[in-house]
Amino acid sequence: MPELPEVETIKRDLQQKIVGRTILTVTPEWPGSIRCPSAEEFTRLLRGQKIEEVSRRGKYLLLRLSNERMLVIHLKMTGQLLVRGPDDAEDRFVRVRFKLDDGRELRFADLRKFGRLALYNSNMTQKGMVRETRAPYLEDFWKLGPEPLSADFTLEAFTKLIRSRSARMKSLLLNQFFLAGLGNIYADEALFKAGIHPLRKAESLTEEEIRKLYEAIKDVLVSAIGDRGTSTDNFRDTAGEPGFHQFHLYVYQRTGQPCSRCGTLIERMKLGGRSTHYCPKCQLKQEGQ
């Protein structure tokens, strides 16, 4: 599933490729991808609108339009946004097609069909959208935790957050209401980098461990954005190209391979239904062990 670095990669691509373009037509090839409003209304409201701005919050992409509406996109498991010219080949699993005024198309492709598109009144402010009452699909959006790469995400703020929780660290990092944008890949990578076992409870972390984890979260995200994301699954950028952070992973999907730090074989366990990858030697189960 695309996480913060993958969605950020798409966001940056879209900022270069489609900001300033006008949507001529929208074709819902599988209307189920459109969650709000109806597919007909969605199509009608987007026609003729200029794309003013593309931003990101957690794993959500936000496209602000000239009619003060916001197109909100969550790629979920397998969603892809592709920008294609008239001579480009057709893509597989295209669910919604946006024709742009420069002859190109923005295609929302989604093999598994879990991705969601929704259109809201935006009422943009500098900080984001003003809460809209009639937006059931966005309920989770308003509860998102801090952005790990924002200026407000300080060590003090992170320490406070950790100190208010008691859950196991892996589950906590996956919780979007605790911290926005991390998923299975970067939660595993950050815990490895900080030397913290995924089963550790938040309350057991020392100040030094909190500081290390804070740095590790930022480091793994920045490094993955630099690599244009991880393509261990079907993640592709807007040109249909894979990222290359899969070549720079420490533990994620490296079960049975030697740890790059100590040579111990990387292990995997199931935690809350998700695979968790870790080094049993580098990641301490308890402080000092």
Could you give the CA distance from residue 132 to residue 76 in angstroms, rounded to a whole number? 22
Could you give the CA distance from residue 250 to residue 255 in angstroms, rounded to a whole number? 10
Q: Which is nearer to Zn ion, 163 or 261 (CB)?
A: 261
Interface residues with Zn ion (CB under 5 A) are 259, 261-262, 264, 279, 281-282
Q: Which is nearer to Zn ion, 73 or 259 (CB)?
A: 259
Q: Which is nearer to Zn ion, 118 or 199 (CB)?
A: 199
Chain mean position to CA 235: 11
Question: What is the nearest approach in angstroms of Zn ion to the Cβ of residue 43?
Answer: 53
Instruction: Select which of 59, 168, 200, 236 is catalytic.
Output: 59
Determine the angle formed by the axes of helices 184-194 and 207-226, rounding to 10 degrees.
130
Q: Which is nearer to Zn ion, 216 or 282 (CB)?
A: 282
Where helices occur in 182-246 by DSSP H, the ranges are 184-194, 207-226
Instruction: Select which of 2, 28, 148, 198 is catalytic.
Output: 2
Residue with the shortest CB distance to Zn ion: 259
Question: What is the nearest approach in angstroms of Zn ion to the Cβ of residue 215?
Answer: 18
3-class state of residue 37 by DSSP: coil
3-class state of residue 155 by DSSP: helix
Q: How many C-alpha atoms does 74 have within 13 Å on its Cβ side? A: 17
Question: What is the nearest approach in angstroms of Zn ion to the Cβ of residue 48?
Answer: 56
Instruction: Select which of 3, 8, 105, 189 is catalytic.
Output: 3
Could you give the CA distance from residue 94 to residue 183 in angstroms, rounded to a whole number? 25
Q: If 0-12 CB within 10 Å is exposed, 13-18 middle and 19+ buried, where does residue 162 land? A: buried
Q: Which is nearer to Zn ion, 211 or 281 (CB)?
A: 281
Q: Which is nearer to Zn ion, 48 or 280 (CB)?
A: 280
59 included as an active-site residue: yes
Could you give the CA distance from residue 171 to residue 151 in angstroms, rounded to a whole number? 24
Question: What is the nearest approach in angstroms of Zn ion to the Cβ of residue 278?
Answer: 9
28 included as an active-site residue: no
The strand ranges marked E within 85-208 are: 94-100, 105-110, 116-121, 124-125, 128-129
Question: What is the nearest approach in angstroms of Zn ion to the Cβ of residue 221?
Answer: 21
Count CB atoms within 10 A of the CB of residue 159. 15
119, β-bridge pairs: 71
Phi-psi region of 151 (alpha: psi -120 to 50; beta: other; left: phi over 0): alpha
Question: What is the nearest approach in angstroms of Zn ion to the Cβ of residue 195?
Answer: 9
By annotation, the residues acting in catalysis are 2-3, 59, 274
